[in-house]
A and B are shown apart, each in its own frame.
Chain A
Amino acid sequence: MKCRRAHSLFERSFEGTLGIEQAFELSEHVRECARCREVHDAQSLLVETLERLPEPPVERIDVERAVAAIHAELDSTRRTSSGPRAKPWVPLAAAAALAVTVGFAAWLRGRGDGGPDPDVATTITPAPLAPAEPPLVIEPVAELVPGPSEVDLDRLDEIRSRVRDALRAARPLLAESGAASFAESVELSVSDLKGWPVERIVARLTRSDDSELALAAIRYLGVRSSRAVLADLERALSRPDLERAGVLALVDAGDAGRAVLARKLWSLEHSRVAIDHGVAHPTELDATARAEWIAAALAAAPRIAEPRALATAKRLVFELGTCERRGAELCFELVDHSLVREEDLLDALARTREGLHVLEEILDRPLSQFPESFLLRAVARLEPPAGLAWASARIHDRNLSELALGAVAAQGGEGPLRLLLDLHRSREVDEPLLAGAWGAALDRDPERFRLLAVAVARGDVDRDASELLALLVSSGKSAAVPAILALLSSPLVAEDGVVLALLAVADFGRREDLPDLVLLLEAVLPENRRAAAGCLVAIHSIGGEDAVSDLFAGSETDVDRVLSLLASLTRGDAPSVVLFRVAMHLGPLLQTKRPRRQS
């Protein structure tokens, strides 16, 4: 074993991945070679020392104190984030609403006409307040509820009936002219009811068992309502027959309605409708508003492992990609929140010029900020010249060389392959890194290697065929075989290279390579016996005896032909190692054939 080989095995030795024979060989070499022994001992001492570094002082941890500190941090963040939402007028509004409610109830009791109408009484009681959004319900109640002197309860049934009729009558307009026309029509029909709590009556109708009526009520509220009835619209989302209408009404309700939708999006059957009508198509929203809505929806996302939620998340990120600069920035921010798959974010970024620009900015930031896999995928999405330019500018930076080479490998087309070939020739890059990039490029798209090999074999591309062949062979990858075989038919490849390449093909070729090997054998047999021997070794190594037998199928004297071929190879100038391997492969074949022929 040579010292260089020994050094290359040290790593695997420490990883425990050496085969028994290699481990034995290595230990023999290390015993005999003082220099390698020194290096080996130094490395193993380092590994030992690392493995035996003192344990972290876990005894100094006070877990309960840590738990308390974590909660303190969480609580302080909550306070900070909820701070700006606090509004000084909320307690006053709440007090006013309560006073009105109590006063109205007392007035109803004082009338002595059998008590309040249950419908109206429930509608004027403020809905339970959501802790995060106290002003939503309270504030408008005061303006909606008419003063006691304006209300004539005897007419309530009649008014409810008028409202119902107005909604039913205008209902066809929803489909024909849109929600705004529909709402206008309803409003015209009830314009003489000023002073009556029409909106609350409509809100009450959103709970009707009559789906059509409830739907019309919901859509009306969406267009005309104040924020007071958002709770009613939100409640409609929980009814399967009304969910779609609720979604549309919330879209119509403007920013506040959209905010509710963003929060509820993940539980909606009609999330697609919400996105379509909420942010995908509306013309009244600018890109920034759309982007913010999507970000709000993503921030409210629960676990998104289940398929429907995942599809929603994907759709959102897709839309984010269309939201110009702000969308691109938010994509960028989302990376850090593990909200959605990086893959989807990168796809979204790649959708617009701004997104691509942000990608370029991401790539210009300090690299440790992002996982390498993310950067590689990001570069892969840059348009080829930009991606390749990004990578080639960093190849000679020692710290970035590996990443840059990985990025080159991730680029499509032949450009990266030519660059890798040039780097190989210049020998300016670490060989193992280059080999890694070469292998990764092969894994990504082997067909372009075959196409490049064909072009080089024909002399259409100014690259050294033997050098390309050597790189392909040294990859040790099955995916490289079609490209190797394409090169072997070229007169530009040196004869020695052909034989060695065929021996490599014998090692890692696959059955699907057999037809090309047979064609190559036929092409080289008369002229180049060394190559023919290599072909035979490869064919037998990959396809076994059957594959070699097939070569001579139909011949009565197949064994004779094999023998004659062997004899001609022996007479020729095939290297002894090739002949040895031919004999190793074909010997058993001859032994099995001869008795059958004798019988």
Chain B
Amino acid sequence: MGQSEPELVAAAQGGDREAFDELVRANFSRVYSIAFRLVGNHEDAEDLAQECFVRAHRSLAHFRGESSLATWLARIVVHQARDRRRRELRGPELVALERAAYRATPSSAQPEQVARRRELTATVTDALSGLPQRLRAALVLRVIEGLDYDEVAEITGVRPGTARTQVMKARRVLLRVLGPWLEGSPRE
């Protein structure tokens, strides 16, 4: 196609289906990655990413270009993940945190460092999925996606200072849950 993103956006806003498809192709994997970090499994992440583009298509006329398309899409997918979580019972969060805490009890029966690190990764992933959604979104966007606080704030709809506090809080919660494990784990 050779069109720039703003050109594609303008064309898609004018009803050009091909242009919209190009935008989906260019952004799907990033949206999916964020969704995956937020929901923790492939199926839900793929669903969420598709829903995100369906919603983006409906709202494309209202995309004002004040932020980048990527930021706008990230905002939609974070919002949707939050909605989805809201619809679910609160139970799973607690269960996930409890499971992580349980797994976070270091096992002396597994001395091998590699195995412990792998288990640590799994435990952190579990704990991550048990974080409250807003803390999780902030942490994912900042630490894992590497966005700066202004971008995190724009996506999650808070002030940059609050985004910073949320990331700090998320780390603290994880530390509290994973403390015993982390303190006994080897460094690379």
A contact set with B: CB distance below 8 Å: 11, 14, 38, 41-43, 45-58, 60-61, 63, 66-67, 69-71, 73-74, 77, 301-305, 337-339, 366, 368-374, 399, 402, 406, 436
B183 & A38 in contact (Cβ 8 Å cutoff):
yes
A374 & B57 in contact (Cβ 8 Å cutoff):
no
Candidates A305, A368, A374; contact of B82 at CB < 8 Å:
A368
A338 & B158 in contact (Cβ 8 Å cutoff):
no
A61 & B183 in contact (Cβ 8 Å cutoff):
no
Tell me the minimal C-beta distance from A48 to chain B in angstroms.
Answer: 8
Which residues in A have their C-beta under 8 angstroms from that of B29? 58, 61, 63
A304 & B62 in contact (Cβ 8 Å cutoff):
yes
B57 & A45 in contact (Cβ 8 Å cutoff):
no
Tell me the minimal C-beta distance from B119 to chain A in angstroms.
Answer: 11
Tell me the minimal C-beta distance from A397 to chain B in angstroms.
Answer: 13
- A21 to B107 CA separation, bound complex (whole angstroms): 39
A56 & B143 in contact (Cβ 8 Å cutoff):
no
B59 & A61 in contact (Cβ 8 Å cutoff):
no
Which residues in A have their C-beta under 8 angstroms from that of B49? 61, 66
Which residues in B have their C-beta under 8 angstroms from that of A406? 162
B165 at the A/B interface (Cβ < 8 Å)?
Answer: yes
Tell me the minimal C-beta distance from B170 to chain A in angstroms.
Answer: 9
B174 at the A/B interface (Cβ < 8 Å)?
Answer: yes
Which residues in A have their C-beta under 8 angstroms from that of B157? 370-374
A50 & B182 in contact (Cβ 8 Å cutoff):
no
B125 & A305 in contact (Cβ 8 Å cutoff):
no
- A470 to B120 CA separation, bound complex (whole angstroms): 44
Which residues in A have their C-beta under 8 angstroms from that of B32? 56, 58, 61
Please list 27 pairs of residues, one from A and one from B, whose beta carbons are closer than 8 Å in the complex, sorted by A's number.
A14-B171, A45-B182, A45-B187, A47-B143, A47-B171, A48-B187, A49-B121, A53-B128, A54-B121, A55-B33, A56-B37, A57-B36, A60-B42, A63-B24, A66-B53, A73-B51, A74-B58, A301-B61, A302-B13, A303-B64, A304-B62, A339-B62, A366-B86, A369-B86, A372-B158, A372-B162, A373-B162
Q: Please indicate which of the listed interface residues B17, B51, B143 has the most CB atoms of chain A within 10 Å of its own CB.
A: B143
Which residues in A have their C-beta under 8 angstroms from that of B17? 71
By beta carbon, the residue of chain B nearest A44 is B187
B54 & A49 in contact (Cβ 8 Å cutoff):
no
Q: Please indicate which of the listed interface residues A14, A38, A63, A305 has the most CB atoms of chain B within 10 Å of its own CB.
A: A63
Which residues in B have their C-beta under 8 angstroms from that of A42? 175, 179, 182-183
Tell me the minimal C-beta distance from A346 to chain B in angstroms.
Answer: 14
B103 at the A/B interface (Cβ < 8 Å)?
Answer: no
List which B152-188 residues lie within 8 A (CB) of chain A: 156-159, 161-162, 165, 168, 171, 174-175, 178-179, 182-183, 185, 187-188
- A518 to B181 CA separation, bound complex (whole angstroms): 58
Candidates A55, A73, A303, A436; contact of B62 at CB < 8 Å:
A303
- A52 to B50 CA separation, bound complex (whole angstroms): 26
Tell me the minimal C-beta distance from A35 to chain B in angstroms.
Answer: 11
B contact set with A: CB distance below 8 Å: 13, 17, 21, 24-25, 28-29, 32-33, 36-37, 42, 45-46, 49-51, 53-54, 57-59, 61-66, 82-83, 85-86, 120-121, 124-125, 128, 132-134, 139, 143-144, 156-159, 161-162, 165, 168, 171, 174-175, 178-179, 182-183, 185, 187-188
Across the A-B interface, give the 4 residue pairs with the lowest CB-CB distance, nearest first: A371-B157, A56-B36, A42-B182, A305-B64
Which residues in A have their C-beta under 8 angstroms from that of B13? 302-303
Which residues in B have their C-beta under 8 angstroms from that of A46? 124, 171, 174-175, 178, 182
Which residues in A have their C-beta under 8 angstroms from that of B125? 53
Which residues in A have their C-beta under 8 angstroms from that of B53? 66, 70
Q: Please indicate which of the listed interface residues A42, A74, A305 has the most CB atoms of chain B within 10 Å of its own CB.
A: A42
B124 & A70 in contact (Cβ 8 Å cutoff):
no
Which residues in B have their C-beta under 8 angstroms from that of A52? 121
Tell me the minimal C-beta distance from B100 to chain A in angstroms.
Answer: 12
Which residues in A have their C-beta under 8 angstroms from that of B82? 368-369
B36 & A303 in contact (Cβ 8 Å cutoff):
no
B134 & A69 in contact (Cβ 8 Å cutoff):
no
Tell me the minimal C-beta distance from A76 to chain B in angstroms.
Answer: 10
A368 & B134 in contact (Cβ 8 Å cutoff):
yes
Tell me the minimal C-beta distance from B175 to chain A in angstroms.
Answer: 6
Tell me the minimal C-beta distance from B61 to chain A in angstroms.
Answer: 5
Tell me the minimal C-beta distance from A382 to chain B in angstroms.
Answer: 19
Additional pairs, 7, CB under 8 Å, beyond known A372-B157, A399-B132? A43-B175, A46-B124, A52-B121, A57-B42, A67-B28, A304-B62, A372-B158
- A56 to B82 CA separation, bound complex (whole angstroms): 19
Which residues in B have their C-beta under 8 angstroms from that of A14? 171
Tell me the minimal C-beta distance from A365 to chain B in angstroms.
Answer: 9
Tell me the minimal C-beta distance from A177 to chain B in angstroms.
Answer: 41
- A36 to B161 CA separation, bound complex (whole angstroms): 26
- A402-B175 CB under 8 A given contacts A61-B28, A303-B62: no
Which residues in A have their C-beta under 8 angstroms from that of B174? 46, 50
A338 & B59 in contact (Cβ 8 Å cutoff):
yes
B171 & A43 in contact (Cβ 8 Å cutoff):
yes
Tell me the minimal C-beta distance from A552 to chain B in angstroms.
Answer: 43
B54 & A70 in contact (Cβ 8 Å cutoff):
yes
A41 & B187 in contact (Cβ 8 Å cutoff):
yes
